[in-house]
């Protein structure tokens, strides 16, 4: 005759069955995870469809940091998944092909302070080769400024925005931080006549200045003289803009370690940069806006930029595109800057508030201004918390350094046709 089990015995038996069930479930989860990772890695084998960015991000979580061979495969798979193509030459407008004569004229005009009202400021005063065609300042210095780079700080009128590098501007769909113009020809003339920049006040006076210089008469004749009916007629505002734009279209960074890697040279990126590339396209979501091969996109966005990089800093109050369209919907929206040469062209953001790439990454990792608890009107929904760890953040910065140019910046001319002093010489 069987003896009924006690309540304690029944509870112990139930607990044992529960533990066995949990153990089986845990084991099954582990087996599924291992099998899933194996299946994903098998998709690298030729003949099968490559992994998606989401799958690559998952694989990265279980890949040892020092396994270069595996990170190389993940990076290559990333380029395939994103359909990344090499950078090609920028398009030129039909009415302003980049003939050598126009580029040379634009080069001379760019460095010549004769374009400014008081003959002291050239385009190169703020976009200097020593600073990779930027100025290295938090915000640019315009009217009354002297020298270039750090020399200009405190010497003239501080502008309201950071001076962007003009490398690769030929690929920009819009110009200026607020996207107010579309073409380089339009952009070239804005600083000339801005009261707080070069402060040129007379088109006729500028044209007379240039026509009075024999070398400029020769340069303009070579570049535009085929339609002239009389000497000097080709020296006009439209052709000044065309020449400057033709020169700027040649300021292109096409050879970086990243570009060489894209073309098949596996040794051009460090293991840390390979890991950073996977973060850039994957968990970091950087490529959504900083899209290769140009590393920018064709839109303006609001990300909630603050007045300083510290957490708790107030929101910057520059209306950006909102002032251009005079609508609230554009408030705080700015052009997405390209990332080529980015490690050399700080400070960053439209207000120059961020000094390092590390600060930038931390800002995005927090989810932009809204992620830091600020009331940001219409922040782009693509900007959200990233949950990157310290190694991922460092790798991301290392990858961005692979976008630095391997070629030198333009050479500063020893002299310009006007005979005026050349900044930086």
Q: What are phi and psi of 61, to 5 degrees?
A: -65, -25
Long-range contact pairs involving 315-324 (C-beta distance under 8 Å, separation at least 24)? 315/369, 315/374, 315/375, 315/376, 316/350, 316/351, 316/353, 318/160, 318/161, 318/350, 318/351, 320/177, 320/178, 320/350, 321/178, 321/179, 323/178, 324/178, 324/179, 324/180
Considering only CA atoms, which of 259, 350, 335 is closest in space to residue 297? 335
214 and 331 part of one domain: no
At 395 the pLDDT is: 99
Task: Classify residue 355: in a domain, yes or no.
Answer: yes
SS3 28: helix
**234 with 290, same domain?**
no
pLDDT at residue 44, as a whole number: 55
Q: Are 340 and 386 in contact (CB under 8 A)?
A: no
Examine residue 227 and state whether it is found in any structural domain, yes or no. Answer: yes
Domain co-membership, 104 together with 244? yes
Q: 309 with 366, same domain?
A: yes
Cβ atoms of 322 and 329 closer than 8 Å: yes
Which of 221, 248, 275 marks a domain boundary?
248
Structure tokens at 251: 């300021």
- Backbone φ and ψ for 405, nearest 5 degrees, come out as -65, 140
Residue after which a domain boundary falls, among 193, 219, 248: 248
Per-residue pLDDT of the chain (425 residues; tens, 9 = 90+): 444 455 455 455 545 555 555 555 545 544 444 445 455 555 554 445 689 999 999 999 999 999 999 999 999 999 999 999 999 999 999 999 889 999 999 999 999 999 999 999 999 999 999 999 999 999 999 999 999 999 999 999 999 999 999 999 999 999 999 999 999 999 999 999 999 999 999 999 999 999 999 999 999 999 998 765 667 789 999 999 999 999 999 999 999 999 999 999 999 999 999 999 999 999 999 999 999 999 999 889 999 999 999 999 999 999 999 999 999 999 999 999 999 999 999 999 999 999 999 999 999 999 999 999 999 988 999 999 999 999 999 999 999 999 999 999 999 999 999 999 999 98
Domain limits for position 154: 100-248
Residue that terminates a domain, selected from 248, 277, 312: 248
Reduced to 3 states (helix: H, G, I; strand: E, B; else coil), residue 279 is: helix
256 belongs to a structural domain: no
- Please choose, from the candidates 205, 207, 209, the residue with its C-alpha nearest in 3D space to the C-alpha of residue 240: 207
- Domain presence at residue 22: no
Same domain, 207 and 333: no
- CB count, 10 Å around CB of 263? 10
24 lies in some domain: no
Instruction: Please say whether the beta carbons of 244 and 106 come within 8 A.
Output: yes
| Residues 316 and 222 both lie in one domain | no
Residues 296 and 240 reside in one and the same domain:
no
Interacting residues of 30 by C-beta distance below 8 A, sequence separation 6+ = none
Query: Do 223 and 296 belong to one domain?
Result: no
Number of folded domains that form the chain: 2
CA dihedral 378, 166, 204, 421 (to 10 degrees): 140
Output the pLDDT for position 46: 47
- For position 224, which CATH number holds? 1.10.760.10
Distance, CA of 413 to chain centre: 28
Q: Is 17 inside a domain boundary?
A: no
Residue 228 forms part of a structural domain: yes
The values of phi and psi at residue 89, to 5°, are -65, 145
Distance of CA 380 to the CA centre of its chain: 17
For position 298, what pLDDT does the model report? 80
> Do 344 and 205 sit in the same domain of this protein?
no
Alpha carbon distance 323, 329 (integer Å): 10
The reported pLDDT for the residue numbered 411 is: 97
Does 197 reside within a domain?
yes
Minimal CA–CA distance to 423: which of 131, 101, 106?
Answer: 131
């Amino acid at each position: 005759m069987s003896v009924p089990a006690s309540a304690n015995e029944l509870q112990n038996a139930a607990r044992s069955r529960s533990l066995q069930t949990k153990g089986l479930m845990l084991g099954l989860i582990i087996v599924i995870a291992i099998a899933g990772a194996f299946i994903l890695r098998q998709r690298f084998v030729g003949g099968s469809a490559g992994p998606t960015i989401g799958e690559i991000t998952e694989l990265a979580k279980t890949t040892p940091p020092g396994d270069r061979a595996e990170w190389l495969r993940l990076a290559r798979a990333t380029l395939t998944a994103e359909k990344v193509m090499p950078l090609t030459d920028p398009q030129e407008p039909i009415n302003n092909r980049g003939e050598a004569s126009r580029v040379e004229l634009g080069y001379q005009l760019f460095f010549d302070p004769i374009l400014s009202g008081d003959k002291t400021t050239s385009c190169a005063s703020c976009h200097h080769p020593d600073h990779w065609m930027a100025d290295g300042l938090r915000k640019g210095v315009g009217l009354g400024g002297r020298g270039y780079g750090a020399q200009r700080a405190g010497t003239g009128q501080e502008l309201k925005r950071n001076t962007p590098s003009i490398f690769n501007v030929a690929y920009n769909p819009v110009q200026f931080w607020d996207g107010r113009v579309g073409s380089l020809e339009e952009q070239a003339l804005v600083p000339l006549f801005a009261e707080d920049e070069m402060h040129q006040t007379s088109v006729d006076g500028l044209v007379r200045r240039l026509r009075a210089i024999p070398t400029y008469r020769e340069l303009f004749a070579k570049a535009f003289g085929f339609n002239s009916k009389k000497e000097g007629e080709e020296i006009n505002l439209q052709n000044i803009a065309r020449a400057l734009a033709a020169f700027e279209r040649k300021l292109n960074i096409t050879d970086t370690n990243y570009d060489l890697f894209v073309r098949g040279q596996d040794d051009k990126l460090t293991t840390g940069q390979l890991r950073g590339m996977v973060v850039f396209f994957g968990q970091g979501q950087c490529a959504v806006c900083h899209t290769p091969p140009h590393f920018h996109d064709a839109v303006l966005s609001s990300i909630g930029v603050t007045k300083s990089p510290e957490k708790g800093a107030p929101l910057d109050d520059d209306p950006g595109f909102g002032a251009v369209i005079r609508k609230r919907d554009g408030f705080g929206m700015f052009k997405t800057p390209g990332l080529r040469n980015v490690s050399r062209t700080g400070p960053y953001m439209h207000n120059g508030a961020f000094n390092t790439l590390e600060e930038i990454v931390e800002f995005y990792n927090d989810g932009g201004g809204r992620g830091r608890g600020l009331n940001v009107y219409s922040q782009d929904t693509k900007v959200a918390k990233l949950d990157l760890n310290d190694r991922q953040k460092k790798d991301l910065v290392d990858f961005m350094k692979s976008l630095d140019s391997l070629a030198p910046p333009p050479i500063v001319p020893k002299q310009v046709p006007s005979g005026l002093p050349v900044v930086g010489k």
